[in-house]
Each structure stands twice: as C-alpha cells, then as structure tokens.
Structure 1
Amino acid sequence: MAGDQKAKGKKEQAKGKAKEVVGRAVGNERMEAEGRMEQSKGDARQAKEKTKDTFKH
C-alpha cells in the first residue's frame, strides 16, 4: 500500500513539473501555478509516506 502511495506522489511530482514547464513556455501563469501546486501535493504525499516508514521501522 505504501508503495502505491509513494508511486502516486512521484507521479504527481512529475506531472506537476511538466505542467509548470509547459505553462512557463507558453506564458500561461495559471497552468504554471497548477503545476507547482501538483508538485507540492506530490511532495506532501512523499513526506507523509517517509514519515510512516520511519515509524514502522
């Protein structure tokens, strides 16, 4: 289960980074901001899973 959540976090980070880069390239500030938000969600999910792993071991 934790592996699924970690993978989901990585996917959100990558998708967010891509959206941010495309938004910046085409001058779409909203898309760029959405990309940063998705990256933050992915970062938060990764941090949560790392914390869980720390307390399991």
Structure 2
Amino acid sequence: MSRDEKAKAKAEQAKGKAKEALGRLVGNERRTAEGRIDQAKGDARQAKEKAKDAMKD
C-alpha cells in the first residue's frame, strides 16, 4: 500500500470517528451517520490498496 493512500485511508477513518463521536455527544444523528460513512470510505480505500498490494505479489 502506498504511504500516501494509506495516510488518506487512516485520515478518513479518524475523521469519521471524530464526527461520529461529536454527533453522539450533541445528539445529532445526521452527524453520527456521516461519521460512519466516512469511516466506511476509509475502510474501503484501505481494502482497495491491500488488494492492489496482493496482486503485485
């Protein structure tokens, strides 16, 4: 996995966790859902990069 893509995936996951926590804290269900979506995007990006690495080997 390239470092740049790995960093983007981790950043997206962290952003999602922060949004979700903030949403729960203030009782905003929409923000909580957006946080979960951002985490899922980060997970998908990470899975894509791992698959690319597996194909190289």
Unaligned runs of 5+ in 1: none
Where in structure 1 do 4 or more consecutive aligned residues deviate above 6 Å?
A: none
- In the alignment, what sits opposite 2:25? 25
Q: CA deviation at 1:2?
A: 2.0
TM-score by length of structure 2 reads: 0.94
Q: Does 1:56 align with 2:56?
A: yes
Unaligned runs of 5+ in 2: none
TM-score by length of structure 1 reads: 0.94
Rounded to whole Å, the distance in 2 between the matches of 1:19 and 1:56 is: 35
Q: CA deviation at 1:6?
A: 1.1
Rounded to whole Å, the distance in 1 between the matches of 2:12 and 2:26 is: 21
Q: How many residues align?
A: 57
